[in-house]
Amino acid sequence: MAQTEFGVSVFLKLFWFFRQEWRRYGIAVAALIGVGLVTMVPPWLVGVIVDLISNEQLTEALLWRYLGLMIAAAAVAYVLRVVWRIALFGASYKLANQLRQSVFEHLTRQAPGFFQRLKTGDLMARSTNDIQAVEMTAGEAVLALFDGAFTGIIVLIVMTVFISWPLTLLALIPWPIVGFFMWRFGNELHASFRDAQARFSDLNDDVQESISALRLTRAFGREEVEEQQFNQIATAANRANQAVAKTDSKYDPVIQLGVGFSFLLSVAGGAWFIHQGELTVGQLLSFTLYLGYMIWPMFAVGWLLNMVERGSAAYARIEQLLNMQPEIADTGTVTERLQPSLEISVPAFAYADGTQALENIHLALPAGQLLGIVGPVGAGKTTLLNLLLRSEEAEGVDIRIGGHSVQALTLHNLRAHIATVPQNAFLFSATIAENIALAKPDATQAEIEAVAKVAQVHDDILRFAKGYQTEVGERGVTLSGGQKQRISIARALLLDAPILILDDALSAVDVRTEQQILTHLSRARAGKTTLIVCHRLSAVENADHIIVLDKGRLLESGTHPQLLKTAGWYRQTYDYQQLEQAVEEGR
């Protein structure tokens, strides 16, 4: 019983939307009521015509008058049906759009740890199938509730008051039994649909991972293993959906049996009442026609319970997602553009699992300078960037831009101040021009080409048959790693942010191209701050300041010439890389 009550409560949870769109729903309900009233006319007129024929009182004029009334009723019902469809389904589509926007905005505010806890497939399922189920609840379920209930009430009133109340009671005998099974099937459907949505999430996630790792799967010859894993997940999803279909399939037979038994009782009882002189043939015909109208309310009850249970399970999953508060609160108030000076003070930072990541990091960088951040793998470079970007935060950590704490800036303003180019460049399934203009869709072709030239990718693009209009394919699979990185750099440059972060974004290009990019970059970003995180030290030779991190601590600090004078990690790594380059060039 608790599950049924929970299912019905989805209407209460959506009350905020019903109140917001009260005009649309008001028009829809009024039109549905109008349809219900108008459709009561034809069966009544058919009964009158039959009785007039039986009594030999039907004239041609009366026949045309009644036929005209039935045609007029049909025309009015047609217009009202168009009205309620536009109003009702238009409102439900708007709800789906609002929920998708809310989910998307909610996801953009989440920290990286959120996406590590929830799988991509599950998030996709909540954003698609679950929202679609709620959309049906706000549309077709409301239709079933109001149209089915109102039609049923009107038909019962007409049958009871204007034809025969004893015959009506006789026809209603099967209905309590049907209602019991509807309640029982609703409970079963709620549990099975919730499980089916969870299995759909698993299937979605496995497909997404399999497609993303397709090259790796082939490289390691894991096709059979992946296929077996997919078959297992698909089989579980199939079983869950079969359970839903099994429960769903029980509705119609029960309703049909109930309606069929009602017809049997009506015809048998009606014949007896005619024999007793308490009912006319025309009235019995009208009664059976009205009873036929009761088929829709009976189906509507089953349809309503079906969609409400689906909608309640789906809305619970959406609510669970939206109630996950972002770990990084957007409490800042600073919205103006600031000078790109940086002050970093990290006494200590550890992740939630207790892993110590940074310790005793203190740094001040004037606006317009280039900072190199280097160090071995696991040194804490990415963690330091995450603190600057507010992907991570902790008490005691103080990072300032233009003298303002990053917590004081709104998240939107903070992101507007910083453009990041990650090592693993992500490109969308669009043209090269559209990918470069991602953060500035209104950019002109001249602006796009200008930043492409700075990123040293302009000539590569022109070699393609369609140039900047070349479709790069999903995740940029038609491009080399170096081309993707340079297009990502061009995209960040077009944003013209005060602070630019290159997170090992030059790893896939050769040293010569790297130096050309850095030379053009220094000219194009005069007066702006740039941070370069890299493993190849040639990328930071001309940096204004370089810091070396190791195991979360500041190991060395200074300019390139200063660090070469020491015998520390920087000098050792630089000598090794110079030797490695000489070997590669055959010197």
What's the rounded Cα separation, in Å, for the pair 193 and 199? 10
Q: In degrees, to the nearest 5, what angle opens at C-alpha 226 toward C-alphas 221 and 231?
A: 145
pTM for the full model?
Answer: 0.69
- pLDDT by residue (tens digit) across 334-373? 889 899 999 999 999 888 777 888 999 999 999 989 999 9
- pLDDT by residue (tens digit) across 46-64? 777 777 777 777 777 888 8
Q: In degrees, to the nearest 5, what angle opens at C-alpha 469 toward C-alphas 465 and 475?
A: 100
Question: In the structure, what pLDDT confidence band is assigned to residue 8 with cuts at 50, 70 and 90?
Answer: low
Query: Which residues, in sequence order, are CB contacts of 69 under 8 Å at separation 6+?
Result: 41, 45
Residues forming CATH 3.40.50.300 domain(s) in the chain: 342-585
The topology under which CATH files domain 2-322 is ABC transporter transmembrane region fold (1.20.1560)
Question: In the structure, what pLDDT confidence band is assigned to residue 474 with cuts at 50, 70 and 90?
Answer: low
What's the rounded Cα separation, in Å, for the pair 313 and 322? 15
The topology under which CATH files domain 342-585 is Rossmann fold (3.40.50)
Strands of 545-550's sheet, edge to edge?
404-405, 398-401, 342-350, 356-365, 553-558, 545-550, 370-374, 529-533, 499-503, 418-421
Residues forming CATH 1.20.1560.10 domain(s) in the chain: 2-322
State the pLDDT at residue 2.
42
State the pLDDT at residue 67.
85
What's the rounded Cα separation, in Å, for the pair 555 and 570? 9
- pLDDT by residue (tens digit) across 242-273? 877 777 777 677 777 877 787 788 778 878 87
DSSP, residue by residue, 90-104: HHHHHHHHHHHHHHH
Asked if 383 and 324 touch (Cβ cutoff 8 Å), the reply is no
| CB neighbourhood size of 178 (10 A) | 20
Which amino acid, one-letter code, is at 214? L
State the pLDDT at residue 475.
56
Q: What is the CA 99 to chain-centroid distance, rounded?
A: 8
Higher pLDDT, 4 or 189: 189
- Two structure tokens written together for 121: 């497939």
SS3 call for 331 = coil
What's the rounded Cα separation, in Å, for the pair 373 and 536? 11
Q: Which helix (H) or strand (E) holds 534?
A: none
State the pLDDT at residue 99.
92
Asked if 44 and 158 touch (Cβ cutoff 8 Å), the reply is yes
Percent with pLDDT over 70 in the chain? 93
What's the rounded Cα separation, in Å, for the pair 568 and 571? 6
φ and ψ at residue 372, rounded to 5 degrees = -100, 130
